[in-house]
Amino acid sequence: MRTPALLLLALGYCTAAGALDLRGELGLDVRQFPHKGAQGQSQLHVALRGQADLWYSPNQGRDAFTFSPFIRADTEDSQRDLVDISELAWLHVNEHFELRTGIRQVFWGVTEGTRLVDIINQTDTADGPEGDRKLGQPMMNLSIGSHSHTLDLFLLLGHRQPTFPGADGRLRLPLVVDTDQATWESSRKQERIDLAARWQWTAFPFWLGISGFSGTAREPELAPVIDPAQLLYDNGQPVGFAPGYIPTLAPHYPLIQQLGVDLQVTQGDLLWKLEAIQRWGGRKDFHAANAGLEYTQVGLFGSRLDLGWLLEGLYDSRGREASTPFDRDLLLGWRLTFNDMASTELLSSVIVDLDSHERLFSLEARRRLADGWSIALELRQIAGTPAPQTAEAFVFTPDTRYALRPLARDSFTRLQLSWFF
Amino acid sequence: MRVVLSVLLLIAVACLPFQAAHADTVAEGHALAKAADAQLRGYVDSQVSLTMELVGPSGQTASRALRVRSLETDSGEYTLMVFDTPRDVAGSALLSHNFREADDQQWLYLPAIRRVKQIGARDKSGPFMGSEFAFEDLVTPFYEKFSYRYEQDEACGELTCAIVERIPRDPHSGYTRQRVWIDREHHLIRQVTYYDRRETLLKTYTASDFEQHEGRHWRPATMRMENHQNRRQTRLLWQDFQFGLGLDSRDFTQNALLRAR
C-alpha cells in the first residue's frame, strides 16, 4: 500500500517540479489473405498492439527522460508476439553537445523504395516486410551540431536479432528462421560493442549525410540446418526429406563495415534523392543504390489536392545473390494528399523487377475518423512470380531468379484501426 | 518623320505625370509595408499557443492545437511548431528557417518513425493542416518578399486603413497578388485579400482583438480566413504570448527538431 502512495507522491513531485508528458496508441491490425498460405497458414490474422510514450524533463528539456514500451499480440503466429522497449533513454543537452544514452531509435535516409543507409536499429520484420517498425537499440550517442553541420558518434552496446514470422505466420520463407540457432562472427557474439558515425551537412538546396558503420550486420545470412538422419538419398545424392521433416534456417551475423551516402536536393516542388552504400564483410562485398525523384503538383487542377510523383531506381551489385528482392528494380508511385479535415492520404506504388518482371503493387490509404481515432487500409499484391517452392526445392534447387517467389500466395489486405491517448 | 517624332514626344510627355505618380505609389506602398513589418519585428524570441478551428462548407468543424516558438536572426526568423492535437499527429513538429533574402527551408519531424524530412518549397502554398491558411499566410512574411503599390485610403472600423497591393516575388507562392489593409495609426495589418493564379478572389483574411504585449508588441489574438471559392473558413486563436524566453539558435536546429516537445 505504501509503495503506490510513494509512487504517486513521486509522480506528483515530478509534475510539480518539471514537465511530464504521456501519450500512446492502441491498435487493431487485421490482415486478410485471399489464399491459404504456401505452408497451409490461415487467411485471417488479427493482432493487437499498444505503445506508450512517456517523457519527463525537470529542467525545460536540458535533461529529458523517455520511456516507450511496445507490445503486440497476434492470434495466429506466436512469433509475432512482442514485448519491446522502443526507447528508455536519457537526453542531456548543453551548449556544446547533446548526449543521448539508453535504448533509442534512429532514422537515417531520404528515399522511399528501400532503407539502405539506415543501420542503427534492428528491424521488426515480423510486423511487415517493408521494415518500417524497428526494435530499440542500446547506445551512447554524442551529437555535436550547428545549423549547417551535425556530427553524430555512436557506441552501439550489443546486437539484437530481427523478429521473424513463425511457422503459422505469413510473408515468410518455406523454412522458418530459428533465432535460437543464431551464430555471430564476433567472438563476443551479441555482446560486441559496435561503432557508427554520421555527418550531416545542410547547405540549401543540398542536404547530405555521410555515414559509417563497423560492427555486426543487422541483416543475417540464412543457412538451412538439416539433420542428416532425416535426408532421403537417390544414387548417393540427397533428394528430399523424411516424411514430416522440415529443416529450419539458422541466422548468421557477420562482422561488416559499411559506408553510406544519403543526399536530397530540394528544388521547389522537385526533390532529388539518393542513397548508396558500400559494404565489406560477410559472404560478399557489395554496393547498392537507390536514387530517384519526387515531384509534387501542389493544388492539382486548381483543387486543394496535392499529387506527388515518385520515381526511383533500385540497384544491388550482388544481382540474384542479393539478400533483398530489389537488385535491379524500378519504383513508380503516386502520393495523393487531400488536405481535408480528416487528413486523407493515398499512396500507391509498384516496384517492377527489370529482370524477372515480378511486380509488387501496393496501395495505402489513411484518414482520421474523429479526434483520437484513425484508420488505415493497405492492399499488397504480388504478381508475375511462380508458385512458392516446397521446402525441399528451396533447399536443394533454390530459385534465385524470382526473389518474391516465397511470397507468391501472400497478397493481402490490411486494416488498421488506431486509438490515440 | 517629324510627325512620328512629335507623336512620340507627346506620348512621353503624357506619360511623365503617370510615371511620377507610379513611382510615388510604389514608394508609399513600400514604406507602409516596411512600417507594418517593423511592428512584427524586434521581439527577439517568443512562444505562443495556437488553436485552429476549421469550419467546412456544410458547417462541420475540427480543431488543431499547436505551440509556436520563434526566434529573430540576423538574416530572418526561425520557427518551430509542435503539434498537440489531433492526437494522431501529436509530437509531430515543423522547423522553418525563413530568410529575408534567400529561399526558406523547412523540415518535418515524424515521431512514429523518428524521421526528419526536408520538405519542398511549394508545400508552403498548400492548405496547412487542412485549414484555409497556407504556411505562407501563417508565418508573417518579410516585406522584402513582395513588390508594392499603394492604392488608396479607406475607413476600416473606427480607423483609416491604407490599401496596398503586394505581388509575391517568390515564384512558388500560391498567389498572383494580395491587397493588404494597413491601419494608419499603428501600421497593423487588419485585412488581406488573396487572388489566385486565375486572378480571382480566393480568400479574405481578417485580424482582430489586437493586444499589446510587453508594452510594445501588437499581436492579434484572433485571425480569420474565409475561402470564397470553397466556402470553408478557419479561425486562429493565439493565446499565452511569451516574449524574451532566452531562446537561441540551438533551439532551432535539426537536433532541436528531434527532441521537440
What's the rounded mean pLDDT across residues A112-119?
A: 95
Contact (CB<8Å) B86/A200: no
Residue with cell 537561441: B248
Cβ proximity of A361 and A352 under 8 Å? no
Q: How far is B253 from chain A (nearest CA, A)?
A: 5
- A263-293 residue pLDDT tens: 999 998 899 999 999 999 999 999 999 999 9
Using an 8 Å CB-CB cutoff, list chain A residues near B249. 147
Distance, CA of A11 to CA of B168 (rounded, Å): 52
Q: Is the pLDDT of residue A300 over 90?
A: no
Q: Percentage of residues in chain A with pLDDT exceeding 70?
A: 96
CA dist A202 and B177 (Å) reads 32
Q: What is the mean pLDDT of residues A182-196?
A: 97
Give the closest residue to A343 by CA, choosing from B118, B106, B85, B68: B85
Which of the listed CATH numbers 2.60.40.1120, 3.40.50.620, 3.40.50.300, 2.40.160.10 matches domain A19-420?
Answer: 2.40.160.10
> What is d(CA A219, CA A252) in angstroms, rounded to the nearest whole number?
9
**Rounded (to 5) percent helix, strand, coil in chain B:** 25, 45, 30
**Domain range list for chain A:** 19-420
A343/B114 Cβ within 8 A = no
| B122/A268 Cβ within 8 A | yes
CA separation for the pair A106, A144 (Å, rounded): 16
- Contact between chains at A64 and B259 (C-beta distance less than 8 A): yes
Of B257, B78, B110, nearest to A61 by C-alpha is B257
Report pLDDT for B11: 55
Give chain B positions within 8 Å (CB) of A57. 261
Please report the pLDDT score of residue B123 as a whole number.
64
The DSSP secondary structure of A68-113, one letter per residue, reads: EEEEEEESS-GGG-EEEEEEEEEEEE-SS-EEEEEEE-------SS
Using one digit for the tens of pLDDT, what is the confidence trace for A15-36?
Answer: 455 799 999 999 999 999 999 9
What confidence category does residue A1 fall into, taking pLDDT thresholds of 50, 70 and 90?
A: very low
Cα–Cα distance for residue pair A323/B10, rounded to 1 Å: 81
Residue A319's pLDDT is 92
Residue A268 has a pLDDT of 86
In this complex, the residue of B56, B102, B125 whose CB is nearest that of residue A298 is B125
pLDDT value at B122 more than 70: no
Of residues A105, A200, A207, nearest to B114 (C-beta): A105
Provide the mean pLDDT of chain B. 89
Q: What is the pLDDT of residue B138?
A: 83
What pLDDT was estimated at residue B3?
A: 55
Mean pLDDT calculated for residue range A214-231: 94
Q: For chain A, what is the mean pLDDT?
A: 93
Contact status of B116 with chain A (Cβ, < 8 Å):
yes
- pLDDT over 80 at A12, yes or no: no
Judge: B114–A150 Cβ closer than 8 Å, yes or no.
no
The whole-angstrom separation of Cα B135 and Cα B127 is 7
- How far lies B233's CA from each of B135, B200, B229, in Å? 15, 18, 11
Q: Is pLDDT of A3 > 80?
A: no
Q: How far apart are CA A276 and CA A48, in angstroms?
A: 36
pLDDT of residue A123: 95
Output the pLDDT for position A17: 59
DSSP string, A215-235: EE-SSPEEEEE--GGGEEEET
pLDDT at B258: 93
Measured between CB atoms, does B2 come within 8 Å of chain A? no
Share of chain B above pLDDT 90, in %: 66
> B257 CA to chain A: closest CA distance, Å?
12
Q: How far is B114 from chain A (nearest CA, A)?
A: 6
Residue A323's pLDDT is what?
86
Q: Determine the Cα angle at A34 with ends A29 and A39, to 5°.
A: 90
d(CA B104, CA B140): 13
Residue B88, chain A, CB below 8 Å: the answer is yes
Is the pLDDT score of B21 beyond 70? Answer: no
- CB atoms B88 and A304 under 8 Å: no
Q: Which of B80, B118, B199 to mutate to test the interface with A (most CBs of A within 10 A)?
A: B118
User: Is the separation of the CB atoms in B179 and B193 below 8 Å?
Assistant: yes
Is residue B197 very low, low, confident or very high in pLDDT (cuts 50, 70, 90)? Answer: confident
Q: How many CB pairs under 8 A join A and B?
A: 116
* Beta carbons within 8 Å of B16's beta carbon, 6+ residues apart: none
DSSP A355: T
Which parts of A29-159 fold into alpha helices (H)? none
Q: Which residues of chain B have a CB within 8 Å of the CB of A106?
A: 114
Distance from CA of A207 to the nearest CA of B (A): 8
Nearest by CB to A107, from B60, B113, B254: name it.
Answer: B113
C-alpha span between A112 and A295 (Å, rounded): 13
Annotation: CATH topology of B42-258: outer membrane lipoprotein receptor (LolB), chain A (2.50.20)
The closest of A195, A116, A120 to A160, measured between CA atoms, is A120
> What is the C-alpha to C-alpha distance for residues B112 and B133, in angstroms, rounded to an integer?
26
What single-letter amino acid sits at A196?
A
Nearest to A370 by CA among A305, A420, A304, A336: A420
Asked if the C-beta of B59 comes within 8 angstroms of chain A's C-beta atoms, the answer is no
User: Which residue, among A295, A14, A226, has the nearest Cα to B121 in the 3D structure?
Assistant: A295
d(CA B192, CA A411) in angstroms, rounded, equals 52
Q: Which residues of A touch B62 (CB under 8 A)?
A: 341, 371
How much is the ipTM here?
0.91
